[in-house]
Structure 1
C-alpha cells in the first residue's frame, strides 16, 4: 500500500504557445510534489522491507530534496537525518522547520565539509554514527529513483515530439532517456554552472546506461548561479504567473520555462513540434 497518495498527472497549456504542454508535477501532492516525490517513492518501497531503517541525505537550507525526504520518511514511519550546509546560529528556514516537524534530525555542515559529499569517506563517517542507515545521495540519485522518474510518461501525450526537464542531479533526465519512445527527443536544461561542460554529468549518465545520443542538453540558462535568478528570469516568472496562473520556483522551473521560451523565439522550427515541459514542483522553496 502506498503511504503517500498522489494525484494523476495532468497537462495544461502555455499561454501563447499552443504547441507546448505543461506537465503539472506541482499538483501531485499538496505538500511535496514533482520529481522529488517520484524519485523517493520507489526508494521507500524497497526500504519498507526493513522497517525502522534510518534514511539520511544531504542538502541546502531550502532543499526540496530534504523536505520531500523528511515528509516521506514520516509518512512511512522511518527516522530521517538531514545533513545541511549551513550553521546552527542561522535561523531555520521554513523548509527546515518542516523537516524538524516531521522528525528529521538535522546536522550542520560547513562549506568545506559539504564539498566532501560525493566522497565515500563522507558517508562512511555519518553511517558510523547511524549504523544500518540508508544513505540517499543529494538530489536522490539512485537506480530506484531513476526508475521512479519514468512515471512522468503517464502524463505525457503519446504524440509528443520533445520532452524537456530541469537537470540537477540528472536522475529525472536519466529515467526519461532510458524509457523514451524512439520518436521522442529528451532535452535537459542544467540549472547549475559547470566550467567543464557538464562532463561529470555526462559520465554519470553513461554509467547507468544513458548514451549522449539519447538526450540533448540546453546549457547557458543558469542565471546567476544555482538557486539564484537574474533580473530577466525574475521578470519572466512574474509575467508567466500573470498569464498562466502557475507558480514557478527559483531553483528549477523558472530557469527551465524561461529557457524554453528563449529557444522557441530563437528557433522557429520548434513551433511545429509538440513539446511537453515538466513542472517539477519545488514550490515550497519559494518561502522565506
Structure 2
C-alpha cells in the first residue's frame, strides 16, 4: 500500500523589524521552518521527505538511522514513524541509555526501537561492511545516515529555495552540510549562499558539500563560515545564549544555541561589521531543532 508522506509546507517568513537593520537599509526575513510541523521540524522534515518516498519506492517498510542521545534527527525520525505508522529503529551512541533523557523518552513514546552501541561500534556507522551487516539484520529497513544527509535529503532542501521571495543572501546553520548543499542546488547563481558551521574545524565540510552538490563545484556563490562555532558542536557562550533569549523576547523568534541560534548570532555580528551592503535582502533559514532546549535544560546547561 502506497501512502503519501505529506505535511503542510506553507511558507512563513518572519521579518525582523528593528532600527539596527533599518539604519543599514537591510531586510532580514527568517524562514520559519521550525513551524512546518509540531514534531517533525525544519530541515529534518526537508531531509526526510524524499527519503520516505524512496523508502517506499524500493519497498522497504521500516526506517533505521543513527544518532547521539540528544539528536534532533532521532527525534524527527521517531515522530515521522509515529505520524506515518512506520516502524523505526535507531542505533544510539552509548555506552548506555539514559531513560530520563527527554529525547530518548520522546523516541520511546513514538514507538521507536532503540539499539544502544558503544562508541567503538558507533564509529563504524559509515563503514560499508557494517552497513551491509545491519541491512541483513534488519532486512525490511531503509537505512538513513546520521543527521539525515544524502542525495534524497538534498531534494527537500532544494525545494525550500523555490518557495522563497526574492533575496540576495541565503543563510543557514551547517552541521553535516546537507542543508547548505541543497540550498546551493536550489539557488540562482546570483544568490550568495552562506553556511554557518556549528562545529569546530569544519573546513572539511567544504569537500563534503562539493561531493553532495554538483553546483557547489562549479559555482563560487557560496561559502562556509567556520569562525562562529562558539567553542564547538553543542558548546555555546553565555553571550550566545543571552542573544537567543533576547531574540525570543524582543522578536518572538525562538532559538536554540546549537544550530539556528548560532547562525542568527553570526548574522547579527556580520551585519554589525557591515559585511552586507546597503539594500541587501537576507533570508535566514530557521532549521528547527527547538526540542534540543529540553535536552540542554535536562543537562543543566541553560
Confirm whether residue 204 of structure 1 aligns to residue 208 of structure 2. yes
1:108 alignment counterpart: 116
Q: Which residue of 2 aligns with 1:6?
A: 8
Counterpart in the other structure of 2:76: 68
Q: Deviations over 1:80-121 (max 9, x none)?
A: 111111233523422121211222110112223223322223
Verify the 8 A CA contact 2:191 2:221 in the aligned structure 1.
no
| 1:55-94 to 2 correspondences below 5 Å | 55-88=63-96, 90-94=98-102
Question: After the TM superposition, which of the residue ranges 109-118 and 130-139 deviates more from structure 2?
Answer: 109-118
Deviation at 1:124, TM superposition (A): 2.5
Distance 1:71 1:12 in 2: 26
Distance in 1 (CA, whole Å) between partners of 2:210 and 2:9 is 32
Quick check: 1:142 aligned with 2:142? Answer: no
Which range moves more in the overlay, 45-54 or 99-108? 45-54
Equivalences for residues 176-195 of structure 1 within 5 A: 176-194=183-201
Identify the residue that residue 223 of structure 2 maps to in structure 1. Answer: 216
- How far apart are the structure 2 equivalents of 1:55 and 1:112? 23
Q: Is the 8 A contact 1:52 1:78 kept in 2?
A: no
Q: Distance in 2 between matches of 1:131 and 1:269?
A: 51
Q: Report how many aligned residue pairs link the two structures.
A: 284
Q: Structure 2 matches for 1:122-271, cutoff 5 A?
A: 122-158=130-166, 160-194=167-201, 198-199=203-204, 201-208=205-212, 209=214, 210-211=216-217, 213-271=220-278
- Match of 1:47, SS state, is helix
Residue in structure 2 matched with residue 32 of structure 1 by the alignment: 40
Between stretches 244-253 and 110-119, larger displacement belongs to 110-119
Runs of 4+ aligned structure 1 residues displaced above 6 Å come to none
TM-score by length of structure 1 reads 0.92
Unmatched tracts of structure 2, length 5 or more: none
Runs of 5+ consecutive residues of structure 1 not aligned to the other structure = none
CA distance, structure 2, for counterparts of residue 92 and residue 55 of structure 1: 24
Q: Distance in 1 between matches of 2:32 and 2:132?
A: 38
Contact 1:11/1:155 (CA < 8 Å) preserved in 2? no
C-alpha separation in 2, matches of 1:95 and 1:4: 24
**Relative to structure 1, is the Cα distance of residues 278 and 15 closer, same or farther in structure 2, using a 3 angstrom cutoff?**
same
Report the Cα distance in structure 1 between the residues aligned to 2:106 and 2:276, rounded to whole angstroms.
45
